[in-house]
Amino acid sequence: MSLSHPHPPVGGRVIEVGGEAPYAITVGQGLLHDGDRIAHALRGRHALLVSDSHVAPLYAQIVEQALHAARPDLVLARWVMPAGEQYKTLVQYGACLDALAQLGATRDACVIALGGGVVGDLAGFAAASWMRGIDCVQLPTTLLAMVDSSVGGKTAVDLPQGKNLVGAFHPPRAVIADTTALHTLPDRELRAGLAEVAKYGAIFDRQFLAWLERHSRDLLARDDAAMAEAIARSCEFKADVVSRDPYERGHRALLNFGHTFGHAIEAEQGYAGVGRDALNHGEAVAVGMVLAARLSTLLGLAPAEDATALESLLATLGLPVRLPERLAPAALLARMYLDKKADAQGLRFVLWGGAGEGRVVAGVPDDAVLAVLRTP
């Protein structure tokens, strides 16, 4: 059953995600005001709006008013977590479950995640586990969440030992991305989202990398047309992969390009990504993609020019491309053994055969990983 809204968004796009539990990603301007569209995805009478301390003051009331107008009978509560990756924890997850209990959320209730990937992952995991699974609607407000985290149903919280170590696959019932929310997004967070956009080009489509190169200035200037195209293309790439491999039994793992390095960086520095001397997720993935491309070259899988070109594109997009000196290579390598792609045979990396050709590679020697981590 498709849940796509009967009316297309004005000036927007709808991308369908297939599979066992299909849903629509709607991208357009002003969608947070569209109470009918959000309410269309709700089945029961209870909903918990989950947001963070930066996003709630900006957008929560808009959503609440729109929903109350569309569904006057809705019992809607708000739960706000502190903003930041360092709060994507079991403690905050527990507090979110407390809010669902307080609301009296029944099995037909819905969690509405309003925010970036941190809110989306944590709220999604609360929805996945409350009464063994209730609905979740994703209202992404960062570029990264619009192009990646709100789509595909990976939900999780971090542990001090590693990223996203506790979670579940739980596809949303709908993804509704209001691109006007990007107007308040800090520049650094916009650039972090562009890292995941570039990832799609790196693993699937070298022409898309060339498009990003040509439009880098427009994207950094938040040009509406360039941004809409980048979001729609990214959602199409992701929808295609997760429709065919929702549980990462195969090629969905390609979406982890740069992440074995990136997650190790995030965990090793302690997750405090914004406002401190540490990388956020998109930035860590940017450094991780450069390292993955260099590792591919070292192993003879890909031309060195492609690694150089990717590094240059990411730098043009204002992203970091070098490992922070304070992070010790041996400590990062040790972190990688808790990566979710590792198995009894050891580490597996997503590398590439050159731009646009992501591939999963097993049996990468520790020495090669350390050599890449030690290269300035």
Residues marked as catalytic: 132, 154, 196, 238, 248, 252, 256, 259, 263, 281
Among 105, 255, 287, 309, binds ligand LNCXM5UN (CB under 6 A): 255
Q: Which residue has the tokens 């450094």?
A: 287
Applying CB under 6 A, does 252 fall inside the site for ligand LNCXM5UN? yes
Per-residue x/- track, 156-175, ligand LNCXM5UN (CB under 6 A): -------xx-----------
Binder of ligand LNCXM5UN out of 85, 148, 306, 357 (CB under 6 A): 148
User: Exposed e or buried b for every residue in 287-312, given b needs 16+ CB within 10 A?
Assistant: bbbbbbbbbbbbeebbeeebbebbbe
Site string for ligand NAD, 226-255 (x = CB under 6 A): ------------------------------
If binding is defined by CB under 6 A, does position 348 make contact with ligand LNCXM5UN?
Answer: no
Identify what 252 binds: ligand NAD, ligand LNCXM5UN, none; CB under 5 to 8 Å per kind. Answer: ligand LNCXM5UN
**Closest approach of ligand NAD to the CB of residue 316, in Å:** 20
State which residue, 356 or 358, has the beta carbon closest to ligand LNCXM5UN.
358
Q: How far is the CB of 147 from ligand NAD (least distance, A)?
A: 9
The least distance separating ligand NAD from the CB of residue 205, rounded to whole angstroms, comes to 19
Q: Which residue stretches of the chain are H helix?
A: 35-40, 61-70, 90-103, 117-129, 143-144, 187-204, 206-214, 216-220, 224-244, 259-269, 281-298, 304-316, 329-336, 366-374
184 is in an annotated binding site: no
Distance from the first to the final alpha carbon of the chain? 52
- Side chain identity at 13, as an amino acid letter? R
* Stretch of 38-46, 50-58, 93-101, 229-237 lying at the interface with ligand NAD (CB under 6 A): 50-58
239 Cα distance to chain centroid: 13
Interface pick for ligand NAD out of 184, 207, 312, 375 (rule CB under 6 A): 184
Q: Does 31 bind ligand LNCXM5UN (CB under 6 A)?
A: no
Is residue 318 within 8 A of residue 191, CB to CB? The reply is: yes
8 A C-beta contact, residue 76 and residue 49: yes
Q: What is the Cα–Cα distance from 195 to 198, expressed in whole angstroms?
A: 5
Specify the amino acid at residue 214.
Answer: R
How far apart CA 113 and CA 111 sit, in angstroms, is: 6
Say whether 117 counts as a known binding-site residue: yes
Alpha-carbon separation of residue 303 from 254, 288, 298, 313 (angstroms): 19, 18, 9, 16
- What residues make contact with ligand NAD under the rule CB under 6 A? 52, 54-55, 58, 83-85, 88, 115-119, 121, 141-142, 144-145, 148-149, 152, 154, 163-164, 181, 184-185, 189, 192, 274, 281-282
